[in-house]
Amino acid sequence: MRPGELIVGDRGARAQQPGDLARAWAVLAEVMDPEVPVVSVVDLGIVRDLDWRAGHLHLVVTPTYSGCPATEVIEGDIRQALEHAGFPAPAVERRLTPAWSTDWISTLGRERLLAYGIAPPEGGASLHGHSPVVCCPQCASGDTELLSEFGSTACKALYRCRACLEPFDYFKCL
């Protein structure tokens, strides 16, 4: 699939039913990010819009960054989950503008990242390029140091806590 391409067909087109959109959002809240399996695509804020068009669900998805290797997997997981829930042939539109921002991560998503051992982004996207105080997800100490701008994925940096000496990922502000 090419970026921005819509996958739509007449297969299974039907009229929207009361509660369809709320049910679809609930399904999407269970679709986990393959790289951080404790946060959903809704937690991350990458599902930007959801509506009903021509008898099918239409979703707008903005990847965390344009080169994210998990984008196609995420779009496939979204499609599969919605089809399994009774929404045939959902249209998934990949939209790169505006660019995704860590500001879009929900409060629940930030809590889940922290519980998983990844320090959530501190501040907002306006801090991109600045050095925030990053607290250790293990012991909550603010005495941490940046080891590498590049962590386990491109959207994370590698830090170490000086208090407990544990290394950890920090979800960078983007």
Express each pLDDT in 50-86 by its tens digit: 999 988 999 999 998 888 888 999 999 999 999 999 9
Residues 66 and 114 in one domain: no
Indicate the residue among 74, 94, 114 that finishes a domain. 94
**Which tokens sit at 38?**
């404790």
Residue 7 pLDDT exceeds 80: no
User: Residues of the chain with pLDDT > 90: what percent?
Assistant: 68
Q: Are residues 124 and 65 in the same domain?
A: no
Burial (CB < 10 A; 0-12, 13-18, 19+), residue 94, is: buried
Q: Are residues 82 and 25 in the same domain?
A: yes
Under DSSP, the state recorded for 126 is G
DSSP H or E segment with residue 158 = strand 156-161
If asked whether residues 56 and 120 sit together in one domain, one would say no
Question: Is a pLDDT exceeding 80 seen at residue 39?
Answer: yes
**Full residue range of the structural domain in which residue 58 is found:** 20-94
Q: Please indicate, yes or no, whether residues 58 and 116 belong to a single structural domain of this protein.
A: no
Confidence grade of residue 18 (pLDDT, cut at 50, 70, 90):
confident
CA 161 – CA 168 distance, rounded (Å): 8
- Residue 9 pLDDT: 47
Half-sphere exposure of 154 (CA within 13 A, CB side): 9
Check: CB of residue 115 under 8 Å from CB of residue 165.
no
How large is the average pLDDT for residues 104-133?
83
Has residue 154 got a pLDDT over 90?
no
The verdict on 90 and 27 lying in the same domain is yes
Are residues 170 and 134 in contact, defined by beta-carbon separation less than 8 angstroms? yes
Q: Is the peptide bond before 98 cis (omega within 30 degrees of 0)?
A: yes
Least confident of 29-33, 118-122, 145-149, 150-154: 150-154
pLDDT for the residue 163: 97
Query: Of the candidates 63, 94, 125, which is a domain's last residue?
Result: 94
90, 108: one domain: no
Mean pLDDT, the chain, whole residue set = 88
Could you tell me the pTM of the whole model?
A: 0.81
Q: For residue 48, what is the domain's CATH number?
A: 3.30.300.130
Dump pLDDT digits (tens) for 120-151. Answer: 998 665 555 566 789 999 999 999 999 999 88
Residues 81 and 113 in one domain: no
Looking at the structure, tell me whether residues 58 and 26 fall in a common domain.
Answer: yes
Q: What is the pLDDT of residue 127?
A: 52
Number of neighbours of residue 98 by Cβ within 10 angstroms: 9
Percentage of residues in the chain having pLDDT higher than 70: 89
Residues 71 and 63 sit within 8 Å (Cβ to Cβ): yes
| Cα–Cα distance list, 34 to 107, 115, 118, 140 (Å) | 20, 17, 15, 26
Considering the domain architecture, whether residues 88 and 117 belong to the same structural domain is answered as: no
In a domain, 10, yes or no: no
